[in-house]
Structure 1
Amino acid sequence: MSIHNEEESKDQNPSSVTRRKFLKNSGYVVGGAILGGIVGNLLGRPVQENNPSQAAGPTTDYNQALMFFTIEQFRTVEAATERIFPADEIGPGAKDLGVAYFIDHQLSGDWGFNARDYMQGPFYKGEAVQGYQGRLKRREIFDIALQEMNNYSRSKYQKRFYELTGEQQDEVLTAFQNDEVKITTISPSGFFNTLRTATIQGVYADPLYGGNRNMDGWKMKNFPGNQMAYTDIIEDEKLAKIPPKSLKDHVQH
């Protein structure tokens, strides 16, 4: 009797049903009932059969386009995020990962308009633990802060922020982080914290949103990304290392 037939025989005995076997079988059911054609990929059918965009080879990435920033704002954010998440021997930095595009796209949408935040008055200065308490939307804060970053850079170094050396850019960012820059309309440290958080999000978000170019952010962490199922490796006792997938990889044409 072959190994395959032996497993089928064991499956007929309810007492032999393992948690792993249950999860594997459940995966097939979910794939067939809910995910439609995705189940074919779980069973080994090449993705290229139903995804011409992958079969055709590399194409122009139209996701790398500005939706909110001016060119000068984009260059400023690109330089600032690279100092926050610089390239090193481990992998690419924020610039090569397209983080500035991620932030640009977020500012053009609900996040930039604070669509999910309560933005009605009265407005009072809150404690640090209370978070942002002002009337300005994120896109307005970025407009002001990026202009002030260049103003501060010109006053101290006679150059725009993205024209400075890396060390000088660090000094400007540190001045914002420590509220050493005098701005009456926004909190310099509040902007820095928002920029830093958005940078990290852009490094590790799905590439569908503009950052994490080529999924290199995930690759540095050995993160599998958005896998639809793990049925092909669920019975493997060893730690599996699999290539990451974006949400776009699962789009069927």
Structure 2
Amino acid sequence: MSEQDEQQTKPAKPDGSQTMSRRKFLRNSGYAVGGVVLGGVLGYLLPKRETPPAAPAPAQNDNNYNQALMFFNQEQYRITEAAVERIFPADDNGPGAKELGAAFFIDHQLAGDWGFNARDYMQPPFYVGEKTQGYQGRLRRREIFYIGLREIQNYSQKKYQKDFPSLAPEEQDAVLTAFQNDEVKLTTISASGFFNLLRSSTLEGVYSDPLYGGNKNMQGWTMRQYPGNQMAYTNIIEKNFTVIPPKSLKDHL
């Protein structure tokens, strides 16, 4: 029996309206629950619905989401960024530490185990170590950076009446040189010790795997013609080659 025939055979209500057929009820019920009933005995009763268009894919961009602050505040980051650029400046050979993201590398390291000295023995007694022994105190690296960056700012204000990032390059060099030579007298940390820590961290940021925030686009490796993290050399070891494109750990996922 067609739906039209079934409707015609249904007795009218006292008000003259037709009683809803079972077929129409089932079909409308399917709409009400979002069309859940799609197969089986009732599937053929439901009208076919067009598949809605897929959501558009997110727009592609060049954002590097690894370059985000995890420890520094904005002022500390700007001081660090300015300092690392003077330690490893841009020149004809390639970009400097600022463009390579060394300040982000340092920020990420301070936010993790390295910043907490998690793998170092940090129990007393504490003695002043020899120069070959490195730092022997109770402060963690993140605390040393916190103090050191603040003192760079204080020294710049005292000597030049400007914040360190606002100084001319030669003035920034003079400030960093004063720290390197222990001309700045600090009570809590060694000025030269902080400079050496900042310098070594800068070089690590320039040449580390980009996975850790620095060495942006592997440009640090490219300047040194370093191949990066190659998994093997068996396919080229017997060939005549001098330079191969570097690879990051991410390239092997």
TM class by smaller structure: 0.7 to 0.9
Counterpart CA distance in 2 for 1:186 and 1:208 is 31
Asked if 1:216 is matched to 2:223, the reply is no
Counterpart CA distance in 2 for 1:230 and 1:58 is 33
Counterpart CA distance in 1 for 2:231 and 2:245 is 13
Asked if 1:99 is matched to 2:110, the reply is no
Q: Secondary structure at the match of 1:140?
A: helix
5 Å-filtered alignment, 1:192-211, equals 192-211=195-214
Residue from 240, 247, 250 that aligns with 2:249:
247
Amino acid at match of 2:245: P
Distance 1:216 1:248, change over 3 A: same
Matched with 1:228 is: 231
Matched with 2:127 is: 124
Asked if 1:176 is matched to 2:175, the reply is no
Relative contact order, higher structure (CA 8 A, sep 6+)? 1
Counterpart CA distance in 2 for 1:122 and 1:241 is 50
Q: What is the Cα deviation at residue 58 of structure 1?
A: 5.7
CA offset digits 1:98-139 (Å, max 9, x no partner): 000000000000110011111100112222222111000000
| Number of residue pairs aligned between Structure 1 and Structure 2 | 195
CA offset digits 1:38-64 (Å, max 9, x no partner): xxxxxxxxxxxxxxxxxx976421100
Say if 1:78 and 1:100, in contact at 8 Å, map to a contact too.
yes
Which deviates more from structure 2 when the two are superposed, residues 238-247 or residues 173-182?
238-247
Amino acid at match of 1:67: M
Say if 1:233 and 1:240, in contact at 8 Å, map to a contact too.
no
Give TM-score scaled by structure 2 length: 0.75
Amino acid at match of 1:138: R
Which deviates more from structure 2 when the two are superposed, residues 85-94 or residues 118-127?
118-127
Identify, as 1 or 2, the structure richer in helix.
1
Aligned Cα root-mean-square deviation (Å): 1.3
Amino acid at match of 2:241: L
Larger-gyration structure (1/2)? 2
Q: Secondary structure at the match of 1:129?
A: coil
Residue from 170, 174, 183 that aligns with 1:167:
170
Amino acid at match of 1:244: P
Q: What is the Cα deviation at residue 240 of structure 1?
A: 3.6
Asked if 1:139 is matched to 2:142, the reply is yes
Q: Which runs of 4+ in 1 moved over 6 A?
A: none
Q: Identity over aligned residues, as a percent?
A: 71
Counterpart CA distance in 1 for 2:141 and 2:65 is 25
Give TM-score scaled by structure 1 length: 0.75
Amino acid at match of 1:249: D
